[in-house]
Structure 1
Amino acid sequence: MSASGDGAVAVGGDAGFILNGHYNTVLMVPGYGGPRTLDDLAAAGRARMVQRWHAVGVPLDVACTFADTAHLGSLPSAMVTSPEGRVVVLEGSFGAGKSLAAERKHQQDITAARTDARAPIPVHLHAKHIQGGVVDAAIRAARPFGDPAARGIALVVDGLDEPGPIRGKELLDQGLSWTASTAGQRWHILFTVRPGLELNDSVRRIMPDLGEDETALLIDRLGGNGSAVGSQPSMVRHVLRRPLFAIIAAGLQRDRSPLPHSPMAFLQALVTRAVRDAEEAKEERAERLLQKLATECASTGGLAAAADVGSPGDVHALLGTRLVVRVGERHLAFALPVLEQYFTGQALLAGGVPADVTQNVELLDRWRYGLAMAVASAGWEAARTVIEPLLRAQPGIAAWVVHEAVPRAVPESEGPWPDMATSLVSQRLQATLEAWQQGLGPAGDLIFFYTRWSGPVTVDARLKGNKLGLHILRRHADHTPELAIPVSHRRAEPHGMRPLAASARPVAADYAAWPWQETLGTVASRLHMLCERRDFDLADCDAYTKERLWLASTGLLRRASRRYAPLQADEAHQALRQSLYSAGRLPVRSSYGHQFSGRQVELLRIDEQLGGGRWADDSGMLHYPYAAPDQEDGPHVHWVWDTYSPSQLRLRTEQVLSAAMEIYTALVDTWFPHLKQVLGLASACPATLVADLYVAPPQDSDSYEPPLMRLSLRPSTGSSVSVHLVPSEDDLYAPAPPLSPGNEPARSPWARPSTPVISEPEIFDDAPAIGYAYAWLHEDLHRLHLTSHGPGRTNSGLP
């Protein structure tokens, strides 16, 4: 390491990375051609660590010392490696130190490659900068250092959440599939991600918090008063267990400033100090320039051309905040992703959500974390200016943003909490609940369907500290009860009915937008129930009607499940009318003998259809809509799939999946038309659903060897289903043929990934297509946080 006359500190390596201390800035200037040696890789990693520490207020010389202290930020090997699966996902909230831990792992990989020419080639990538597949990107980055096919790759992918959960899931699935193949056996991959991505516990590692002693030691090293941490309120102590906030706290203590109570408040304090210390601009100008840079970075994927941000003086002002770094000679970026997201949010609060953003799902994807930051940091009225236009244009994205912005699981603890009048609490919850219902469109009218109520409601709520007591009550006729509803009426309304919903739990009262999150939780729990009970009626979908008609008929005639002989339509009709007009409810059979009831409107429709003979053949018979077993007898028959020949099983699979696509489309068009652009499967269409099906040879024993199916989405001019039998299980697990760049099936970044997933085909129930369609819809809604949980019954097969 050497110093030049202008204060620059070179960190070694032919790539020429420079950390420039002049004007309190850090400039990353990669030499021509990028890293060419292992020393270059080490220098680049060191520069990334230094720039991050310096951005949050660590003096440049101390940041360099920290970077050269190898144990600082390192995790035990078991936390960052997995010999069995070869893929680890390190999960932690922003500021937890996961990027630093990944850098330390990358430095260890570089050291291993220096000492052993056969060791895997070290590669470090940022998820949001990966174009195409993660495997191809890693191979391209590794080639200057050796043969990836012979040595394998030790890959670190930072920020799996930054390109969005759908893209993040796709990159993760690509890594898992590759390392499970023969070609990827020498690979080891470490991903870092914020909470929110659905992960298998076998790959997830939770980033550990600092202990209180570790927090105090870090604060002391940075000139703060670590011994004062123990006297802070529990909320503050909890925040300080993340290294980012401990570093910010040390700076605040040096300034004799009080410590904030929440992560957002700490972030605001960091920005205030950085802007105040800038020498090149007044605070107001610096804030404005930072917001402009953030919107440019958000729209372009993380880098902004310096010329698009402002004059050379503006660029110097930005660099003077130490929050911004120069990348190359012509581009700027934020030193930390969370800073880009924060200032994008501030720009939205200052100028509102641009109309071109609310109407463009591509831009909404890039701005999603900025939108969440805006909602997290805003007051009540300011948050409304962000949420309400978004809710009108894209209710699904509004739900994702609110869920990301406001914590839902919070402890009941000491304040400070806002002192809100009971009437104001109830009014805000009332307004947000009605906004969610209206924004969702037809499905919003069914939120309280299972309480036999579809009319307007009244919210009665009280907030004591941060504990909310909530009751949602029927509103009778045009009368709205007083918000101070007597206790007796909360449990027994005037007509003797219990509340539609009731809860008493802590809420994130220090976030002004908490009422949006609370009522979103109510909506999500109800939509989850509707999906689980499959109670979105479809009047004009033939595939749905055929399955429901068969279920009703077999239930009425007491036909055993999985018996597919034709039924007499007249007998089914007669049994329906007897049940309909005597009991008013019709018990019908669903999978595995569970019972559920048809609603009156559907029963009347089935009554009309059976009476008109619409679905009966010329002999008056009703037929099961899918291919029936063709080899029910024989010594090899031990399981339900053994009753089908491979060709018959392929045909049944194709029929079921085709019907499921039709039912899913009808569910979206009928009940969720406002979400069509951001529901995963809907936004991926038109596409061909490709199913590769493997059927094991007949066995003499009753060993459990079910058929296996691999589903993937392929680009197509129209939606269709294609099912192929593959000759061996190896063919099923073989890597899928690559898609040419720009030819992916997803029409929006919110669409489902295309990485194939292996599952057992769930095609043997009496209503398999409805099961698949609801599972796909349920998963898509859950990805937007519009259901409280994912589906619990059918394995959807889709990634």
Structure 2
Amino acid sequence: MGAVTKRSVASGKPIEHRVPTPGTVRQLYGTAFACAKPGCSAELYTLNVDTGQHVLNSRVAHIHARSEGGPRWDPAMSEADNRGVGNLLLLCLSHAWEIDQVPDEYPAEMLRSWKQDQLAASERAHRSWQISDEEAREVVAPFDLDAVIEKISAVVPFNPRMRSRIETWQLAIRRGHAMRVSRLTPLVPMERRPAVLAWMVASQEPLVEVPVGQVRVLVGRLGAGKSEHALRWWGQALQVAANDPDTEIPLFLPARHITASLELAIANELGGDPSGRCQVVIDDLDSVPLQEAARLLAEARQLVHTWPEVSVLATARPGIPVPDEEKILIQPWPAQRGAELARLALGDDIPRQLWNTETADLLTSPLTALGLAARLHAGRDVEVSRAQLLAELATMVIDAKSHEFADDTWQDLARLAVRILGQSQPVTWASFGSLPRVRRLTATGLVVGDHTELTFALPVFEQYFGSEALRMGLVDLETIAAASSFPRWRYALAFAVSTAIEQSQERLFVGLATVNPAAAFWVLDEIADAGADRTHDGPSDEAIAALISRRDPTGELTVEPDLAIRAGQWLRGAEQALLTGLGPLAESLARHRDGRLVQWGTWLQNGYLTLARSRDQLPPPDVVKLPEMFPSLGRWHRVEGFRFPTSDFGRWLRAQAALQEQLQNAIRRRTLPVPRTSWLARERLYLLAEFVYNFSATRRRRTIDLAELRDTVTEWMERVNQSVWATWQGTGRSVDSDDIRWLAAQLVMEDGDRLLPPWPEGDQSTTGRWSWQTYSPELTLTLATDIVRQALIGYRQLVETSFPAFGDALGLYSMLPVRVEGLLRRPVNTENAYTIDMIVSLDPDRDAQRSDVPSVDLRLVPDEGHVFWTFIQERRSTARTTFGQSPLQNVDLPLGHTCSATSLAYRWLVYDLAGVGWLKDHHGLLD
């Protein structure tokens, strides 16, 4: 903290103000410490203003000493000028952060004009502090204390500590009540709200448990009751604080309101650092970008170590992966509990004739239970899916009003949704529109305004009107379905698809699959009935023809007279759209030649389709009719038979399952493409070369003669070229035509006479049971360092080659570049120790680029548990978790394996793909 000093004219004594600015600012700013941004009077920090690029000296001065990245300078200025007081602008933390995020909205001319105004304010304050001796004597004269306090309060900026404890507690109680009321108002009639509120407050459902000094995250789908669980946990803390003066009043912070650091947000709410036990809720992490949500969770983990008496509970929907030890999954309610809530909201029991499987499912969460009651109250049909019920909540609220809303109000609701979903900061009244327009929005009952901020009463409403914005053309599918924006728009997209007419549904889904297949898979899981096509009897030809005719977005399939071909084209369209979105990965998941999907053959009988993929035949035509229901495996590959899917999204579910199966096969065989110069390619080259070279040998040879290998590969290539498909079986391994083609192409790059293993054999002569015992400690450390380094490089290459469109959504890739620190220990008791233990810490490397060779620093330590434990504890407080990968990882060191780096790289990739929903049952793919 820098001290800014000005001396009194009367006494000559210094008047000191403690503010977070460099000491050099004293001479320039004197005693004026208001934020430079007009209208703001918050505490001050510093922002460096250059001649046009808004480069930060340090974002805030009080963290400059521990800034990980260090200061950033304008290269056109000297260091002295960068540090000079003439180039400093005093700003509060939130506005300094805001300008750093969107510098283009704050031209240098604007910042310099703010500085001139601030200097003028400083001069005025300077003059006001120059008092005469006579004025100084008046200051020490008797005075009325109450009058002095009143005058001081009128000029001193407000601080929450100015409220009494009871005032703060009462304000929190009113806020909690207001949050519940705002959620219930659109769905529950006024006369029924007191009963519903009383029931919710008196709920006997077990409270969430968050240990002191730890972080927990409530995870559940939209409407599962996450915020209500958090409110009950927060409310219990309120009751404790009422009787315990050493407990802080708990905080309930919407994630969107934390515009700077979490630590500052808490300090601002409390009026200072927490002095005792304090419980904090961070609600709705989905309202901010994934990177911002990850930052808040990382700050929460650091914060509970800085303030050990603080505990943090956050809420999030699935899609923001959280470490298992922090995750609390919201369990579905028993249907009877939901029926009880619906009865209170409706004022009567749900009629027995309306009870069915769908009704019972809707009663398993609070929002859908209240939505079901609202539908009954409005006289609407209750035989609806969960997605349809949620999507129609907004229209029910508006239909219940006695007056109609103008079209421009409906459009304003959609525009507000676009603003809320498209930015992480709150939307203010003034920024949105005129007061009459804002009042029309709040009159709908869908929007809540607190005189400064506009929000929807329920998150489901902002998602619904987000879908309306897509329908109106206020946003485009390519933008909101992109990997960076999809997490906040996902329910809006699900609503848009589920509420569209059939042909529009297909058109939307084709676009979604093409832009972001991972988003398409998530929407499928949310709105499609995966069991709808599992009935035993197949559909009639008439039903199949009618489905294709109704849902074909182009209207072109009806031209084909043969239904078997038309059915194949219908299914092929879904797979082709997903493959287009997959980009380079498509080649690994579906048979292609020259970048084109191979020809299909189909046979349709009694509602069951036989589908065969050609081995190498290309269109045209894209689909032909098979001559028989069970074709021979001559020219055909992957022949399968199944009931033709006639559900709304049946063809997409079928394509998803087929592609996920092929992705699992590619991962299991470790055949995803990488650059030919990659170390992972080197390991695969040796693995295949050794198989071919030793295929007929009586003993295994590790050093491979390249001339002899090439002769054998040439012979095998003749078999590949003369057959539709060739395979070779060995001990525990097999290779096929694609492997031999890849090997032949890779051998062209090899120079020299011999091919050596990628990793050396052990340097110790031992009769030990395990392979690692043949390696000396020195060689063990060298190999471990190289394996981790090559695995990180190989992982990056796998992502950039196969998943370029959404790599940033993958956990480890989003953390790159990283530097690695770790420990290895060789077991003393070797009876069951089949491997060497290794623990690594993946930390951000601010000085590197993603493509740089990662820094790996490993140490060999004795086989003592406390060494590993100490390493974990020292790094746990500063660990930064992103979207699924833990920065602290235990790794089995695979010494003696041919593909050591490949195994580790694929292990990281499997965890990441499972985290974003690309893989489901992935545990068999880890080894």
TM range (shorter): 0.7 to 0.9
| 2:422 match | 299
Shift of 1:781: 3.9
- Any idea what SS the aligned residue of 1:721 has? coil
Q: Distance in 2 between matches of 1:472 and 1:665?
A: 36
Q: Is the 8 A contact 2:267 2:274 kept in 1?
A: no
- Any idea what SS the aligned residue of 1:692 has? strand
Q: Is the 8 A contact 1:357 1:363 kept in 2?
A: yes
Q: Distance in 1 between matches of 2:219 and 2:703?
A: 54
1:110 aligns to 2:207 (yes or no): no
2:283 aligned to which of 128, 150, 158: 158
Letter aligned with residue 340 of structure 2: L
Shift of 1:517: 4.1
1:340 aligns to 2:465 (yes or no): no
- Any idea what SS the aligned residue of 2:845 has? strand
2:582 aligned to which of 431, 440, 457: 440
| Counterpart mapping for 1:68-79 below 5 A | 68-69=198-199, 71-73=201-203, 75-77=205-207
Letter aligned with residue 544 of structure 1: L
Q: Is the 8 A contact 1:663 1:773 kept in 2?
A: yes
| Counterpart mapping for 1:600-611 below 5 A | 600-609=740-749
When the two structures are superposed, what TM-score results if normalisation uses the length of structure 1? 0.76
Q: Distance in 2 between matches of 1:240 and 1:118?
A: 41
User: Residues 369, 212 of structure 1: CA spacing in aligned structure 2 closer, same or farther, 3 A cutoff?
Assistant: closer
Q: Distance in 1 between matches of 2:712 and 2:570?
A: 50
Letter aligned with residue 227 of structure 2: S
| Counterpart mapping for 1:307-346 below 5 A | 307-327=430-450, 329-346=451-468
1:237 aligned to which of 357, 360, 365: 360
Query: Greater shift after overlay, 428-437 or 666-675?
Result: 666-675
Shift of 1:338: 1.8
1:455 aligned to which of 598, 618, 639: 598
Shift of 1:162: 4.6
Higher relative contact order (CA 8 A, sep 6+): 1
Letter aligned with residue 774 of structure 1: Y
When the two structures are superposed, what TM-score results if normalisation uses the length of structure 2? 0.66
2:571 aligned to which of 406, 413, 429: 429
| 2:410 match | 287
Letter aligned with residue 744 of structure 2: L
| 1:372 match | 494
Q: Distance in 2 between matches of 1:690 and 1:378?
A: 48
| 2:758 match | 625
Q: Distance in 1 between matches of 2:674 and 2:909?
A: 14
| 1:262 match | 385
| 2:223 match | 95
Shift of 1:294: 0.3
Q: Is the 8 A contact 1:693 1:710 kept in 2?
A: yes
Shift of 1:271: 1.4
User: Residues 656, 342 of structure 1: CA spacing in aligned structure 2 closer, same or farther, 3 A cutoff?
Assistant: same
- Any idea what SS the aligned residue of 1:695 has? strand
Q: Is the 8 A contact 1:378 1:513 kept in 2?
A: no
Q: Is the 8 A contact 2:219 2:317 kept in 1?
A: yes
Shift of 1:50: 1.4
Q: Is the 8 A contact 1:567 1:623 kept in 2?
A: yes
- Any idea what SS the aligned residue of 2:479 has? helix
1:551 aligns to 2:687 (yes or no): yes
Letter aligned with residue 344 of structure 1: G
1:56 aligned to which of 187, 190, 206: 187
1:207 aligns to 2:343 (yes or no): no
User: Residues 98, 683 of structure 1: CA spacing in aligned structure 2 closer, same or farther, 3 A cutoff?
Assistant: closer
Shift of 1:319: 0.5
| 2:820 match | 691
Q: Distance in 1 between matches of 2:227 and 2:480?
A: 31
Q: Distance in 2 between matches of 1:693 and 1:627?
A: 22
Q: Distance in 2 between matches of 1:410 and 1:41?
A: 48
| 1:722 match | 855
Deviation string 1:381-401 (CA, Å, 9 cap, x unpaired) is 333454444444444444445
- Any idea what SS the aligned residue of 1:625 has? coil
User: Residues 301, 412 of structure 1: CA spacing in aligned structure 2 closer, same or farther, 3 A cutoff?
Assistant: farther
| 2:613 match | 474
Shift of 1:653: 3.2
Q: Is the 8 A contact 1:694 1:732 kept in 2?
A: no
Shift of 1:409: 5.9
Shift of 1:237: 3.1
Deviation string 1:624-665 (CA, Å, 9 cap, x unpaired) is 33465455659xx77555555665444323322333344344
- Any idea what SS the aligned residue of 1:760 has? strand
1:654 aligned to which of 763, 774, 785: 785
Q: Is the 8 A contact 2:765 2:774 kept in 1?
A: yes
User: Residues 242, 775 of structure 1: CA spacing in aligned structure 2 closer, same or farther, 3 A cutoff?
Assistant: same
User: Residues 225, 525 of structure 1: CA spacing in aligned structure 2 closer, same or farther, 3 A cutoff?
Assistant: farther
Shift of 1:235: 1.5
Q: Is the 8 A contact 1:534 1:774 kept in 2?
A: yes
- Any idea what SS the aligned residue of 2:250 has? strand
User: Residues 781, 304 of structure 1: CA spacing in aligned structure 2 closer, same or farther, 3 A cutoff?
Assistant: same
| 1:771 match | 903
**How many equivalent pairs are there?**
718
Letter aligned with residue 523 of structure 1: L
- Any idea what SS the aligned residue of 1:707 has? strand
Shift of 1:228: 0.3
User: Residues 342, 650 of structure 1: CA spacing in aligned structure 2 closer, same or farther, 3 A cutoff?
Assistant: farther
Shift of 1:567: 5.1
User: Residues 223, 587 of structure 1: CA spacing in aligned structure 2 closer, same or farther, 3 A cutoff?
Assistant: closer
Q: Is the 8 A contact 2:359 2:382 kept in 1?
A: yes
| 2:652 match | 516
Q: Distance in 1 between matches of 2:342 and 2:235?
A: 25
User: Residues 41, 697 of structure 1: CA spacing in aligned structure 2 closer, same or farther, 3 A cutoff?
Assistant: farther
Deviation string 1:699-751 (CA, Å, 9 cap, x unpaired) is 36657572222224434234331112367421344236869xxxx9x9xxxx8
- Any idea what SS the aligned residue of 1:724 has? strand
Gaps of 5+ in 2: 1-156, 552-566, 721-725, 862-866
Deviation string 1:672-709 (CA, Å, 9 cap, x unpaired) is 4444565555565xx43322211237636657572222
Query: Greater shift after overlay, 239-248 or 675-684?
Result: 675-684
Letter aligned with residue 604 of structure 1: A
Q: Is the 8 A contact 2:195 2:344 kept in 1?
A: no
| 2:664 match | 528
| Counterpart mapping for 1:120-131 below 5 A | 122-130=250-258
Gaps of 5+ in 1: 1-30
Letter aligned with residue 434 of structure 1: Q
Q: Distance in 2 between matches of 1:46 and 1:606?
A: 68
Q: Distance in 2 between matches of 1:361 and 1:480?
A: 31
User: Residues 599, 210 of structure 1: CA spacing in aligned structure 2 closer, same or farther, 3 A cutoff?
Assistant: closer
Q: Is the 8 A contact 1:646 1:695 kept in 2?
A: no
Q: Distance in 1 between matches of 2:496 and 2:314?
A: 27
User: Residues 221, 737 of structure 1: CA spacing in aligned structure 2 closer, same or farther, 3 A cutoff?
Assistant: closer
Shift of 1:606: 4.6
Query: Greater shift after overlay, 32-41 or 715-724?
Result: 32-41
Q: Distance in 2 between matches of 1:594 and 1:187?
A: 54
Q: Percent identity?
A: 22
Q: Distance in 1 between matches of 2:197 and 2:160?
A: 21
User: Residues 472, 191 of structure 1: CA spacing in aligned structure 2 closer, same or farther, 3 A cutoff?
Assistant: farther
- Any idea what SS the aligned residue of 1:429 has? helix
Q: Is the 8 A contact 1:358 1:389 kept in 2?
A: no
